[in-house]
Every structure is written in C-alpha cells, then in structure tokens.
Structure 1
Amino acid sequence: MMFQEEKRIEEELTYPLLLCERVCKLVEEPVFFKFECSEVGKQTDRLSQMLRTAIRLSTSSSNLYEPPIRRILTEMTKTLDRALTLVRKCKKRSILRRVVTITRVTDFRKVLSLLESSIGDMRWLLSVYDYSDGSNVGIVLSLPPVASNDPILAWVWSFIATIQMGQLLTDKIEAANELASFAHDNDRNKKIICEEGGVVPLLKLLKEGNNSQDAQIAASTALFNLANCEDRVRSIVNENGVPIIVKILRDSAMRVQIRVSSLVARMAEYDSVAQEEFARENAIRPLVSILSFETFVDDDLKMGKQSIHSIVQMSNYNDNPPRSGSSLSVSSSEGSSRGAYYSYRKERENEKPEVKLMLKTKCAEALWMLARGSVVNSRKITETKGLLGLAKLIEKEDGELQYNCLMVIMEITAAAESNPDLRRAAFKTNSAAVKAVVEQLLRIVKESTSGSMQIAAIKSIGSLARAFSARETRVIGPLVAQLSNRNQEVATEAAVSLVKFACPDNFLHMEHSKAIIEFDGVPPLMRLLRGSERTKIHSLILICYLALHAGNSEALEQARVLNALEGADHLVARQPELKDLVLKAINHLRMYHAGIHPPRPPLSYVPQI
C-alpha cells in the first residue's frame, strides 16, 4: 500500500499537537513582545482544538483518506517549529543573547500569517472529513492555503476523499465523474490523481458498486482515462485491479461491460505485465463469450441437445455464478443455471442494437490488445474456439467491429508464425475454424476497398505460409493479384507475404515459387522494382527466390529478370545483406540462360562468382 512505510496518521497528528502545547505554555509569561506572543498563543490554541478534532475523526474512521492530512501536517509542523523558536526568544535573557538574536515585529507578522494559513488548511480538511454534524463526506470546491498555487490538487483531494469516505452513492458517482473529466487529455492531472492515491478508491467503487451501473461506469471511465502509460497501468495492476476488472467484465450489465472491456484494451495496450495478469485471470474467456453471443445460429436444447456455445455460456454461470441480488443471480442447481442462462440471453436480446454492437466492438479491441505480441494469450483465444466466431463476425459485420476482429486474427497468426507449436495446434488446414478464417481473409484481400483491411489480411495469410500445403494454391493467386494494386503499401505487403511462401525456410518453397510464376507474378514484381525503397527491397528478395527455385521458367527469361538483377547494384550497395542472395540468383539464371541445366543444388550451396 502507498503509506505502509509511513507513520500511522494518529502519530502524525500527535506531534504538531505537542508543539501547540509547548507554544501555548511559553507565551503565558513572555518578557518581550507580550501582545504579539498573546496573538500567537490564540492562533496556536485554535490549531490545537482542530488537531484534537482531527484525531477523533482518524480514530473513528477505518477508511480515512490520508494524503491531504499528511501534506497539511508537514507544512503545519514547519510553522509551529518556527513559532516555538520565535516565542522562546521573548523570554528573559542576557543583553549579549538579545543582541545576537534580535526579534522584530515583522517576524511575528510572518508567523501569524503562517498560523492563519494552517488554520485555513485545517478548516478545509475538517469540512471534507467531519461527520460531527450528521452530514456525509461530500465534494468541497474551496481551496486550502496549502494548495493555493495548485487548485487542481485540492479538488482531486476532495473528489478522492468523497469516493473513499462518502456515504451517499450519488456523491461518489459525481466525484468519480469529476476525476474522469480531470484526467481526460491532461497527463499532469492523471499523474496527480495516481500520486494522491486515487486508484484504490476507484477500484473499490468499481468492485462494490454492484447495484449501480452508473457507479461502475464512472469508476471504469476514470480508470480508463488514467491508464494511458505503463507506469499508471502498473499502478492499477499493483493494487490488485486485474481480478476486480475481470470479475466485473464477467458479471455486469452490457453498458458496464463496454467500459470495462475498453479498460482491458487500454491496459493491455500499454503494459505487457497487464497482458500477463489478464491471461492469468482468464479474461479471454468472457471476452470471447460476449463476442460470440448471437453470432452463431444455435438451437439451444433443441431435440435434447445443446450447442457448443450454449454449453460454454452455461458453464460460465456454474463456474462464476452472478452476484447475489442481481438480475442474473441463480442457485447452484442445474435447473437454476439453465434458467439464469435464458434470463441472461433474454436480457441481452432486449438490449438496443447499438449497445450490442458497441460491446462487441470493444471486446474485439480488448482481444486484439491482449493478443498483440503474446503467444500465451493468442493460444488461449484459439483454445476457446474464438477463431470461428471471429471469422463469422468478419463475414457478417463491417466498420470498426470487422476491423478489430481482423486485427485479432492478424495478431494470432503472427504469434503462430513465431511459435511452431501454436501453429500446429491451432491452424490445422482441415479445421473448420481455420477454413472459415482463411476464406474470410481471402475475401478481404480480393474484395475490400480499405487498404488497412487488405494489409491486415495479407499479413495474416503470410504468417500462415508454412501451414498451407502444396495444394493450397488458392491463397497464392489473390496475393499475386495484389502485386498490381494501385496502393503501393498493399502491393508491398503482398510481396512480403509471398516471400514467406517462397523463402527456403518454407518446406514447400519450390512448389510455392512455381505457383507464384504460374499466377503471372513476375511482371508486377518487375514493376515494383521501380517503387519506394521498401518496395524495391522486398520485390528484389522475392524475385531472387523465384530465380533460385524456378530458374528454368520462361516467364523469368521473358521478363528479363537477369538483366534486372544485374542492374540492381545501386540497391545492393545500400543493402549489403542482399548481396549474397542476389549473386546466387544471378549465377543460377546465367546457367539456365546458357543452356546448362545443373542438378538442383542444396539450400546451403552458394555459387561462386
């Protein structure tokens, strides 16, 4: 916890109270500046009374919000030390001591001003915390002197204190909304809220606002606005926020789930540790379940059978029964679980279409961020049968939801490319889910008018290059066709993906290289050699692989590939790592053009020039 190494707040309050008593005792019999010392005594006595009230409040409250108390006590202690030093000078002493330590009226004026500020700070503090008049802790927008140069600090204190100590839920919701507003697009305010302990009360409000959607939405929105950098996301993780967020994601109403899934996406985007924690808490399962709801045409319990989706949904209730008193609350019996499932389904079906769409869109975004760069999370998505649901959403939906689902597929396939075990387990080409995914990826490549969508689909197919058999030439044709795309970024990405089919790392590189040539891929590749630097590089690499693996093709000779490679000196000079590959390709083509047909060399063979 934030203050575990600090003194207890009662101890912090005791020391300035002791200083007040010392000052009051010293001003009773001053020899010099009697009037001024009397004024100091009056102010100090007021402070001591306020401190005693604060001590009573601290002992009677189990959830006291401490940061403003500690800040005010720090400043107050400095002032009281100064006052104590000043009144000591007014006692009877020798002439020499008086000359050395000269006291002026201006010194008293300064101390009295500081004491007045401390009184103002305590008055503000008690107005925020005091229960003695029977009222609730509420938002106080006045400014204490300690925060006069930074009013945001005082308002943040007031809002956090209201969330942590307030009794009225409406006040807590208002305070959380104010924090969310303060944190929106202002990193300094975000930093202040986190440093002043705002994360824990917001998580508590999210967790305990079970009977109020407004409370949970306000808390999750504030946390979302805070979580735009690794440090602040880590502060949420360190306060055990991930289990709370996943539980709310599982149990809450759709409008709350929208905000919480956005929070999951934001946290996973900025912090890999949060990604791991969400995987550990199995956040993937509720996200996939929500995303696939109403996606499948299932006949639940018809003819005595249940669909897979229905079983998954009902198992969620048995494993994680909804909170007591909610509309989804059920008993542990099978009949009650089944009834709750249909009640849950009816509630969702009756929700507005735009709410359903937004929820699915945000869940897809959360899955995207969780899968990004994570083999573990990608594996979990495939294990929950999420691939088929994603494929169906890509087929049926459009706009942001379709794009987010496609990005999930892109991240999963990228993980599969880097992890052979995942690729073999999740992307068996005879799997219905994989067939559906590939079909939709090819459809996007061929039909989409969005360059970003095409690029994501092309990348996904390229990542699966080693999963396709030699008979799967249907994936080669659409990629070759995109080499002629007017959007050079799309054409370049097609070349990058085709390289993964034709490179020696692919066991079927010979067959794929021939297929690329058969689909008339050489002419557009030659045109791409006149493109941007990145386009030239990937096109050149692909041409070299085609020359090495299908060098006797007439298409290569007709397109004058050898001349193009021999004239690529300027590009090779800027990319020295291409030198060996280009030389091997040139040597290979020269042998064929000279009428020599040597046996196929091993992959490790490097022709000598």
Structure 2
Amino acid sequence: MAASTATAATTAALEREKTLQDELALPILLTDRVIKSAGEAESSRSECADIARQADELSQKLRAAVRLTSSPSTSSIYDRPIRRIAADVSKNLEKALTLVRKCKHTGLLRHVFLTITSSAADFKRVSNLLQSSIGDFVWLLSIYNDDEGGANLSIPPIVNNDPIIAWVWSSIASLQTNRQLKDRIESANYLASLASDNERFRKVIVEEGAVSPLLRLLKDGGGSPDGQIAAATALFWLVDDRERTRIVAAEGGIPIMVQVFGESCMSVQVAVAELVAKVAQYNPATREEFGRENVLKPLISCLILDMDMEDYKQFHGVQKELAAKNHPKYNNYVLNHGHSMSNNTSYHKVYSSASFDVRGGSNYNKRERENESPEIKLKLKIKSALALWRLCKGSMLNSQKVAEPKGLFCLAKIIETERGELQYNCLMTIMEVAEVAEDNAELRKAAWKPSSPPAKAVLDQLLRVIKEESNPDFQVPAIKAIGCLARIFPAKETGIVGSLVGQLGNKDFGAATEAAVALAKFACPDNHNCVAHSKTIIEFNGVPPLMKLLSINDRARRNGLVLLCYLSMHVGNSKELAEARALRTLESAVRSGMAQNAELRDIFSRAVHHLMLYQDGSHPHSHTFAVV
C-alpha cells in the first residue's frame, strides 16, 4: 500500500515536471523559428536582425528556465509565474514570427506591399513586446536564485499594472524553494503583512498557491520556532472566510495544526491556538475534524498549566476507587492484602483512565515550560480558551470532550480565579457547551447533573458571576448557560431561579433581556418543573421588573411577553399578575400584532384564556377577549 502510494506520488510529480517543460518547449521552438525566418528576410533586414537578436537572448533565458525546472534540487518548484510568463512569451513570439516572415519573399510588388503593411512602428511594437518578455524572464530567474536571498520586490513587465501579483509570486517562490530559513521566514512575514492589508490581497495570495508552502513551513519551521510562528501568522490573516479555510483544510492543514500545537514551545502554541480558533470560527465544518484529530486534550492541558487541580484529583481518585470495586480482581486483592484499592498506587497506575499530563509535547520539556515568562503562559491560556470556545460552538463531539470532568473542573477554576479575557473566553466556552446540551438529553444527563461535582463546580461559578459581576459582557454568557441548562434543575433549586429574577432589573438592557429569555426556559411547558419554577419567579417578585422590561425595546418586549405568557399559563390565579394588569398587557400586545406567527398566537391565546378564568370582575380589565 505504502509502495503504491509512493509510486503514484512520483508519477504525479514526473507528469507535473513534464507538463511544465512542455510549456517552455513551445516558446523555445518559436525563438528558433523567429531567428531562422529573420535570417532569410530580404526586406527590412536591419529590423529583422534586431528581432533575431532579441529572440536569441530570450531563447537563452528560456533554456535556463528549462535547466532550472529539470534540476533535482528544484523538484517542488513553484510553477505559477513560469506558466503565466511562458504563455505570454509565446504570444509575443508568434507576433514576431508573423512579422519577420513577411520580409522573406522577393519581388517589386511584394516589396511595396511590405513597405505599406510592415512599417517601422510594427517592428518597434514587436521589439518592445520581446524586450518585455526578456525582462519577465530575467525577473523570473532571479526569484528562484538562492543567492538573491528572500523575496524579490521588483516588478516584471507582465504585471506592471498589478504589482501585488509579482510580490506574491516572489514570496511564494522564496517560501517553496529557498534553502535559507531566514529568507523563508522573511517571505512568510511579508505575506502576512500583505494579507493583513485588505481582502483582495488575501484572495490573491491564496489563489496563487501560498497555502501549501506556508503549511510546510508551519510543520517543520526549518527547525526554528520563528519559522512556525511566521507561517501561523500568515495563515491566520488568510483564513477570514469560509472558502479560504476550506482550502487550508483541503491541503491537510488541520492535522498539521494539531501536531504542531502538541509538540511545540509555548510561543508557537500561542500562534497556532489563535489560528485554530479562527479556522473554527469561519468554517463550522472544520470543528468536527479538529475534534477527531484530538486537539481538545492539548488545549485543556495548556489551560491547567500551573493550576491547582486538587478538586479534580480528589474526584478522579474517587472515580477510580468506584471503578476498581467493579473490577473482577478487586475482591481477591482485598482478601489477600486486607485494604482497599485506594491505598494501592500500582493498581491506580495500571487502571487509571485519565491522564493528568500537561506537557506540550516530546520536543519541549517540562523545565523549559516552567521557565517561560508569566506573560507568555497567560497568553497561551487565553488563546487556548478562545480555541475551545470556537471549537465547541454547535459541535456535539467537542462539547462532549470539554464536558468531561477534567474540562469542567478546569473551566470552573479559571472562572473563579481569573479575570479579563481568559475568564471571558472560558465563560463563552461553557455557554457553547450548554447550548449544545440544551438540545441533547444524553449530554445533559452525562455531564450536567447538578449533584455531580464537576457540574456543580461550574454552576456555582456561573451563579457567582451572575450575582457579583458588574460587567454585562461576563454576566450574559453565564445567564445564557444557566438558561440552556434549565431542564436539569429540580423544583427545589429556587436559588438559581432567584438569581435570574434578580437580573430582570439589570441596568444593562441586554443582560436583563437575556435573564427573561433564560427564565422563559424554566417556565416553558416543555420543562417538567415549569409550574414550580413559575411560582418561584412570582415568589421572588419577578413580575414588577418583568413589566418594566416590556417598555425597553422590541427584543426585550417580545421575550418579556413570552415569559409573561408562561407565568399566566401556569400561575394564572396569581394576585401579582392581576395587580400588574397582565391580562390588559397581553391584550394590548395582541392588538399591536405582536403575536403574528403561529407559535406566539398559541401561547398568547392560552395565556389570555388562563388569566380570564381567574379574574373576578373587580379588576378593570376583566372583559371578554379572544386571540384571533
């Protein structure tokens, strides 16, 4: 199998070289014909001689290019500029050949005809075209010359009106064929600079084939972290749309990123984690592939670096003890040794199901990691958490992995002890995992039982953030996460509902609205404990701030009315709803066209019906009303 694959690759490479040399063979043939026809000219001999001289010079450049492409040391030569320039040169030589052939025939009438049709302007125009072709090949040969060093920022005539293409060609050629690492790094940095400038530059860079050599540099780096960082940075600027991330994935970029992240030093890991996050952000299809390549484990390992994970260790020890008790050899061992497995270190080594290894990889030892600066360690954690956030969005596979005990304990600890961007990224990760769990009962049951220590650690921190944090940017993901997990909480968990009720009056309208959305998931009829949760919302005095929320903006009004409908459906006899004139509010909303779609019409109708059943005539809004 391996032999056949290697043979196929070799055959493909030979065919590619042959095709490139064939493209150069045509203009070489044309130069020979131009020189021969110019030598046979019987009119305009001086002009034809000048054309022949240029054709000869061009022939020498073309043959030099052939030698370059056939050299074993340039088997992976970057061929796009060669093909483009060779095609243009062929067109110019065909024009020259047509012109000099007109000068071959004799006779007075022919001479007069040629004098009229082949003016000095024609020869000048063709001569200028050939001179441009010579300039193109002089430039072309220079970009493959190791002695030049780095990218050649001069501009060949062929792209005089669009110099960006020349700069991209030169940089990619240097990346792909230059043996000097410093030149490859310089070229990658230059491509990153171009890519960061505007959308068109990014498009040109990818179209001209930069992705493959950048991935090769990322993989090996020439033995230098600087090379890998330069490649990762260039790729980072390129992958800002779905199509370009698809190209990176198609070129085998995802396993390369995962491998490099797992084996490299921290400074490289920072750049690669940021790249992984961006690829996952712009192309949802890549998230599952990253998960299958097992990028989650090293990302979480980077997060727990220098972290006290005693809670996880204790939990893991208990789990191993329980697992050991169910093992066939457990009872025999206790009988023979007189104590439980928790006291047997060797048994734990054999049957341990989880690793607590936080090393970055085989090429980067533990001491080097410990000696890294606090700044680079923090940056790595921030970017690793960012990557987890992007990878978990909408991904069942990745959310399952993050929701394992180590991941949950880790995220809970960071949310508890850290502040700023790192804490925010971890909150967003939890929010994305919770959103996936909202639609997956199996994940909720496996990872989010409130009695489970890992889940409880996270839930406690989410509630703390909701209560104590003053920045709505941090409160909102915590509120959303709790709302997504609404179905896991029993009726007796009144404190959680109470915390959300407290946010209905948040000065930030966005946070207050999200609290209404979250509470609606507690009070929704799909929630088994909806009646109990609705009573709790009323008991925690949630109706007054809810009624105020209805006057803020359209989004707040819509979500607030949905929550009000659920409360009316489940606790329609509440005096708090009567005093707040909930029925009149819902009637007014219906008249204004708020309940236009079928789903909203149904819940508004049911809510109004329940409220009307419990109004006793003493209220000024106790008239008959029907939702239509």
TM-score computed with the length of structure 2 as normaliser:
0.86
The residue number in structure 2 matching 1:220 is 232
Deviations for 1:310-352, whole angstroms, at most 9, x for unmatched residues? Answer: 96244x87xx962xxx4x3xxxxxxxxxxxxxx42x3222211
Alpha-carbon distance in 1 for matches of 2:403, 2:616: 52
Match of 2:80 in 1: 67
- In 2, the alpha carbon distance for the partners of 1:484 and 1:145 equals 67
Aligned position for 1:86: 99
Contact 1:265 1:369 in 2 (8 A): yes
How far apart, CA to CA, are the structure 2 residues paired with 1:274 and 1:210?
27
Q: Aligned ranges for residues 36-51 of structure 1 at < 5 Å?
A: 36-51=47-62
Q: Which residue in the other structure is 2:119 paired with?
A: 104
Q: Secondary structure at the match of 1:167?
A: coil
Q: CA deviation at 1:206?
A: 0.9
Contact kept, 8 Å, 2:206 with 2:244, in 1: the verdict is: yes
Give the drift of 1:358.
0.5
**1:504 aligns to what SS in structure 2?**
coil
Alignment of 1:197 with 2:197, yes or no, is no
Report what 1:55 is aligned to.
66
Aligned 8 A contact 2:277 2:387 in 1: yes
- 1:406 corresponds in structure 2 to 427
Contact kept? 2:395, 2:436, Cα under 8 Å? yes
Change in 2 beyond 3 A, CA 1:126/1:181: same
Contact persistence 1:136–1:166 (CA under 8 A): no
Kept in 1: contact 2:590–2:627 (CA 8 A): no
Residue 365 of structure 1: how far off its partner (Å): 0.5
Matched, 1:77 2:90: yes
Match of 2:459 among 432, 438, 442: 438
AA aligned to 1:536 is R
Partner of 2:27: 16
- CA apart distance, 1:195: 1.3
| Residue identity matched to 2:380 | L
Q: Following the alignment from structure 1 to structure 2, what is the Cα–Cα distance between the partners of residues 196 and 563?
A: 65
Q: Is 1:454 paired with 2:470? A: no
**Greater alpha carbon shift after TM alignment, 538-547 vs 498-507:** 538-547
| One-letter amino acid of the structure 1 residue matched with residue 292 of structure 2 | R
1:145 aligns with 2:188: no
- 2-structure distance, mates of 1:160, 1:561: 68
Following the alignment from structure 1 to structure 2, what is the Cα–Cα distance between the partners of residues 62 and 587? Answer: 79
C-alpha change, 1:472 and 1:6, in structure 2 (3 Å) is: farther
1:589 aligns with 2:611: yes
Q: How far apart in 1 are the matches of 2:361 and 2:462?
A: 37
1:467 aligns to 2:488 (yes or no): yes
Q: How does 1:378-397 map to 2 (within 5 A)?
A: 378-383=399-404, 385-397=406-418
The answer on 1:119 being equivalent to 2:142 is no
- Is the contact between residue 182 and residue 190 of structure 1 (CA under 8 Å) also seen in structure 2? yes
Q: Tell me, yes or no, if structure 1 residue 312 matches structure 2 residue 355.
A: yes
Q: Give 1:150 deviation, angstroms.
A: 1.8
- In the alignment, which of 257, 273, 283 is matched to residue 269 of structure 2? 257
On the 8 A contact 1:465/1:500 being kept in 2, the answer is yes
Residue aligned with 2:118, SS: coil
C-alpha distance in structure 1 between counterparts of 2:424 and 2:361, whole Å: 33
Corresponding residue of 1:604: none
Between the aligned partners of 2:456 and 2:569, the Cα distance in structure 1 is 31
Task: State the identity %.
Answer: 48
After TM superposition, the structure 1 stretch with the greater mean CA deviation from structure 2, 86-95 or 442-451, is 86-95
In structure 2, the CA distance between the partners of 1:376 and 1:96, relative to structure 1 (3 Å rule), is: farther
The 2-side partners of 1:160 and 1:556 are apart by 69
Query: What does residue 233 of structure 1 align with?
Result: 245
Equivalent position amino acid for 1:174 in 2: E
Mapped contact 2:150–2:186 kept (Cα < 8 A): no
Secondary structure class of the residue paired with 1:312 = coil
Following the alignment from structure 2 to structure 1, what is the Cα–Cα distance between the partners of residues 500 and 29?
Answer: 81
Alpha-carbon separation, structure 1, partners of 2:376 and 2:460? 29
Corresponding residue number in structure 2 for 1:175: 187
CA contact (8 A) 2:394 2:436 kept: yes
* Structure 2: unaligned runs, 5 residues or longer: 1-8, 318-342, 618-625
Distance 1:394 1:321, change over 3 A: closer
1:608 Cα shift? 9.4
Q: In the TM superposition, what is the alpha-carbon distance from 1:232 to its structure 2 partner? A: 1.3
Aligned to 2:286: 274
Aligned to 1:551, the other structure's residue is in SS state coil
Read off the aligned partner of 1:479 and give its amino acid letter: L
Is the contact made by 1:137 and 1:167 (CA closer than 8 Å) also made in structure 2?
no
Whether the 8 Å contact between 2:54 and 2:130 is mirrored in structure 1 is yes
Q: Distance in 1 between matches of 2:388 and 2:568?
A: 41
Please give the secondary structure, in 2, of the residue aligned with 1:398: coil
> Partners in 2 of 1:585 and 1:54 — Cα distance?
81
Cα distance change, pair 7–383 in 1 and its aligned pair in 2 (3 A): farther
Letter in 2 for 1:59: S
Q: CA-atom RMSD, angstroms? A: 2.8
1:32 corresponds in structure 2 to 43
1:513 aligns to 2:510 (yes or no):
no
Distance in 2 of aligned mates of 1:162 and 1:6: 19
2:95 aligned partner, one-letter code = R
**After the TM superposition, which of the residue ranges 106-115 and 577-586 deviates more from structure 2?**
577-586
Q: Confirm or deny: 8 A CA contact 2:504 2:545 kept in the other structure.
A: yes
- When residues 171 and 313 of structure 1 are mapped into structure 2, their CA distance, relative to the original with a 3 A threshold, is farther
Aligned residue type for 1:464: L
Alignment partner, residue 579 of structure 1: 601
After the TM superposition, which of the residue ranges 525-534 and 513-522 deviates more from structure 2? 525-534
Which whole-Å CA distance do the structure 1 matches of 2:292 and 2:403 have between them?
A: 16
Aligned to 2:585: 564
Equivalent position SS for 2:403: helix
- Answer whether contact 1:265 1:367 (CA < 8 A) is retained: yes
Q: Shift of residue 426 of structure 1? A: 1.8
What do residues 110-160 of structure 1 show as CA deviations (whole Å, max 9, x unaligned)?
A: 1111111111111111122246xxx36532222211121122221221111
Please name the residue that 1:371 is paired with. Answer: 392
Q: Is the 8 A contact 1:57 1:130 kept in 2?
A: no
- Return the alpha-carbon distance in structure 2 between the equivalents of residues 367 and 196 of structure 1: 32
Task: Select between 148-157 and 81-90 the one with higher mean Cα deviation.
Answer: 148-157
Q: Does 1:285 align with 2:297?
A: yes
TM-score, structure 1 as length reference: 0.89
Q: Distance in 2 between matches of 1:85 and 1:56?
A: 28
Distance 1:533 1:296 in 2: 46
> Which letter does structure 1 place at the counterpart of 2:190?
E
**Residue 324 of structure 2 corresponds to which residue in structure 1?**
none
- Mapped partners of 1:384, 1:31: distance in 2: 91
> Structure 1: which 5+ residue stretches go unaligned?
329-342, 596-606
Which residues in structure 2 correspond to 1:472-551 (within 5 Å)? 472-551=493-572
SS in 2 for 1:493: helix
Q: Distance in 1 between matches of 2:178 and 2:17?
A: 24
- How far did residue 261 of structure 1 move? 0.3
